[in-house]
């Protein structure tokens, strides 16, 4: 009797089996308010929405507070100005939702979120160490720039490019000497004329200044003293560097002496 059973390897073995119907995914259909691939790229989407929302709120505030005074009708009707701002905010929110929910934009945000999860974040110890280095370097650069600014400002003052010196010191009128007057700087218009006259007449300068009612005067170091101080500083620093280099060189490995 013939059997209806088909042995393995028969004629129907290579035939294509019917595929099951494709199930709808979260990215297919759903209308305008359907979220494309919901649940993926959560933090990048929330960050994008938060930044876009801040921009929209600031723009709506600009429309109501800054654009309203420039339009007479809106200035006379505050309610219309508020309505225009709210309408703009609603349209902007719909646009942001549509733009971030597009397949290309959403896929980009999802890929960004997946790449951020692959980032190898530094440990707490490494973060604190790097922060200390950055802060220390920032203070060193600030001090260096401050010193350079003071040095060039003082130099330009001696060259008569600047009228005000960055470095000055206060001298009491009773202790004022004729050498202070030639370099003193006064900005008070009531006493400037007296000091200018005193500079021309050094012999009577102390009496004129004391009679003017000034209690103290801002004075500047003379150019010669400033130059001598810098020369002494360069000699001290150079000697220190030379001594350090000689000491460090002496600590090197001893040379081998060949025997005869």
DSSP state of 67: I
Give the pLDDT band (50/70/90) at residue 210: low
SS3 110: helix
Total Cβ atoms within 10 A of residue 92: 17
In a domain, residue 143? The reply is: no
Tell me, yes or no, whether 102 lies in a domain.
yes
Task: Out of 80, 95, 117, pick the residue that ends a domain.
Answer: 117
Domain final residue pick, 89, 117, 145: 117
- Which residue, among 96, 98, 100, has the nearest Cα to 57 in the 3D structure? 96
* Separation of alpha carbons 166 and 172, rounded Å: 20
Residue ending a domain, among 97, 117, 137, is: 117
Is residue 3 in some structural domain?
A: no
Q: Is residue 153 part of a domain?
A: no
In a domain, 152, yes or no: no
Name the token pair of 13.
């073995």
What are the tens digits of pLDDT across the range 122-152?
888 989 999 999 999 999 999 999 998 988 8
Whole-number Å distance between alpha carbons of 181 and 208: 11
Check whether 23 has a pLDDT greater than 50.
no
Tens-place pLDDT, residues 237-253:
888 888 888 876 656 55
Query: Is 193 domain-assigned?
Result: yes
- Using alpha carbons only, how large is the chain's radius of gyration in Å? 41
Q: Are residues 109 and 46 in the same domain?
A: yes
Confidence of residue 173 (pLDDT cuts 50, 70, 90): confident
Does residue 110 sit within a domain?
yes
* 50 has pLDDT over 70: yes
Is there a domain that residue 81 lies in?
Answer: yes
Q: Percentages helix, strand, coil for the chain, rounded to the nearest 5?
A: 60, 5, 35
Helix, strand, or coil (residue 244): helix
Mean pLDDT lowest among 201-205, 224-228, 236-240, 253-257: 253-257
Higher pLDDT, 229 or 194: 229
Say which range, 11-20, 91-100, 227-236, has the weakest mean pLDDT: 11-20
Q: How far apart are CA 182 and CA 8, in angstroms?
A: 117
The structural domain count of the chain equals 2
Give me the mean pLDDT over the 157-161 stretch.
83
Range of the domain at 56: 42-117
Q: What pLDDT, in 10s, does the model give residues 68-87?
A: 788 887 778 778 888 888 99
Mean pLDDT, residues 217-228 taken together = 77
Alpha-carbon gap, residue 181 to 209, rounded angstroms: 10
């Amino acid at each position: 009797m013939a059997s209806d059973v088909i042995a393995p390897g028969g004629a129907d073995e290579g035939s294509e089996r019917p595929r099951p119907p494709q199930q709808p995914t979260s990215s297919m259909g759903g209308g305008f308010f359907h979220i494309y691939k919901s649940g993926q790229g959560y933090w990048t989407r929330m960050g994008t929405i938060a930044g876009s929302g801040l921009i929209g709120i600031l723009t709506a505030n600009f429309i109501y507070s800054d654009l309203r005074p420039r339009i007479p009708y809106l200035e006379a009707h505050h309610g219309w100005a508020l309505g225009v701002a709210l309408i703009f905010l609603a349209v902007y929110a719909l646009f942001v939702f549509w733009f971030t929910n597009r397949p290309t934009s959403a896929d980009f945000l999802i890929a960004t979120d997946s790449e951020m999860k692959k980032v190898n974040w530094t440990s707490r110890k490494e973060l604190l160490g790097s922060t200390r280095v950055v802060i220390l370097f920032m203070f060193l650069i600030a001090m260096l720039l401050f010193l350079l600014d003071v040095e060039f400002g003082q130099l330009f003052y001696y060259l008569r490019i600047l009228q005000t010196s960055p470095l000055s010191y206060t001298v009491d009128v009773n202790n004022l000497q004729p050498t202070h007057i030639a370099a003193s700087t006064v900005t008070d218009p009531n006493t400037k004329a007296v000091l200018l006259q005193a500079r021309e007449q050094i012999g009577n300068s102390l009496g004129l200044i004391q009679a003017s009612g000034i209690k103290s005067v801002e004075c500047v170091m003379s150019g010669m003293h400033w130059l001598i101080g810098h020369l002494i500083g360069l000699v001290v620093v150079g000697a220190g560097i030379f001594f350090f280099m000689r000491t460090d060189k002496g600590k090197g490995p001893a040379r081998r002496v060949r025997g005869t």
